[in-house]
Amino acid sequence: MKLSQKLVEEAIIEIAGREGVMVYKVLKDKENVNEFLIAEKLKLTINQIRNIIYKFEQYNLITSTRKKDRKKGWYIYFFTLNKKQIEDLVLQLKKKKINILKKQLEREGAHDFYSCPNKCMRLTIENAMEHQFMCAECGSLLEPEDKEKNITKIKKGIKELEEEFTKITA
């Protein structure tokens, strides 16, 4: 599997934002990293770090151990990145996007859409008829969309994602 750094970072931004990428970079080539050390390095609070780690945990990206601080009496967590799982995450997110586009494609194929020239709303022809083809937001006349153009655009998006997917798994 060939994962570029760009793909990894894109996936992490999607689940945990830019700060997630910062945490990822600190954890990347290390094991059992003290959470306080991460917070100090990134100038974030321990709560911010724990929130990001929580998001990572949702995707099994992290294994953690904890030790009791004898003096202070609380637990300190140590984190290790689960690198194999990052590959799965990238593929999972791509697959999810492909499925969303496929559903969208089905919907586009099954209906004729009308939209407001000011982009307030888009309705199926049935709903547009109920509104006498008028935009409920700005009162403009709704215009029929170019169905073929929409479908071509979605198909192109699916093709691109599928190519990326194949490239990663090749």
State in angstroms the smallest separation of the CB of 135 from Zn ion.
Answer: 3
Are 90 and 112 contacting, i.e. CB atoms less than 8 angstroms apart?
no
Q: Do 101 and 161 form a contact (C-beta atoms < 8 A)?
A: yes
Structure tokens at 76: 């300190």
Nearest CB to Zn ion, comparing residues 51 and 140: 140
Cβ at position 132, least distance to Zn ion in Å: 14
Nearer to Zn ion, 48 or 140 (CB): 140
- Between 21 and 121, name the residue whose CB sits nearer to Zn ion: 121
The amino acid occupying position 118 is N
Residue 134 Cβ, how far from Zn ion at the closest point, in Å?
A: 9
Task: Give the nearest distance from C-beta 29 to Zn ion in angstroms.
Answer: 52
Burial of 31 (0-12, 13-18, 19+ CB in 10 A): exposed
Phi and psi at residue 39, in whole multiples of 5°? -60, -45
Backbone angles phi, psi at 119, to 5 degrees: 65, 25
**102, 106, 107, 112: CA torsion to nearest 10:** 130
Which two three-digit tokens encode residue 163?
Answer: 């190519």
Tell me how far, at minimum, the Cβ of 140 lies from Zn ion, in Å.
5
Complex with Zn ion: residue 11 or 116, whichever CB lies closer: 116
Residues forming the site for Zn ion (CB under 5 A):
116, 118, 120, 135, 137-138, 140
Strands 75-81 and 143-144: unpaired
DSSP state of 119: S
C-beta closer to Zn ion: residue 40 or 137: 137
